[in-house]
Every structure is written in structure tokens, then in C-alpha cells.
Structure 1
Amino acid sequence: MPEAGRPTYINIRGVPYRAELLEENGRSRVRIYPVTG
């Protein structure tokens, strides 16, 4: 689980993604962005 302010890098089917934790309205959500080289 990623922490706020510290993105976590994960691999999905060999494709790197950056997971970031967002806190909105008291709720925590994880956004996943593809990492483009």
C-alpha cells in the first residue's frame, strides 16, 4: 500500500506503474499511473 507523498512503483504484466495515495474528503484512494520512459 503506497503512503501519502511517497509513490510506490509496481509492475503489471511487465509494465511499470506508479501508485500514489490520494486523500480526499477523509477517504484514501490509490491512483495508478503508467510510467513512460
Structure 2
Amino acid sequence: NERHVTCFYVKFGCKHTECITTIVFCWQTASDISSV
């Protein structure tokens, strides 16, 4: 079974190049997922 982890970055409160908060959403995906 190959398992892959996908991450999505969301940044909040950005001024120019500085951001106050960065939230990272990560989830695993597999080829044999039977339940979500």
C-alpha cells in the first residue's frame, strides 16, 4: 500500500511578505481507503 500525505497551506493576516498565522492542513490518501 502506498500512502501519500498531502498538505495545504493557508496564510492569514499578510502584509507584504509578513504573515501573522500560517495554518497547515494535512491529510493522508491511500489506494485502499474504505472509510473517510
Specify the structure having the higher radius of gyration (Cα). 2
Q: TM-score, with normalisation over the residues of structure 1?
A: 0.39
**Greater relative contact order (Cα 8 A, min sep 6): structure 1 or 2?**
2
Q: TM-score, with normalisation over the residues of structure 2?
A: 0.39
More strand as a share of residues: 2
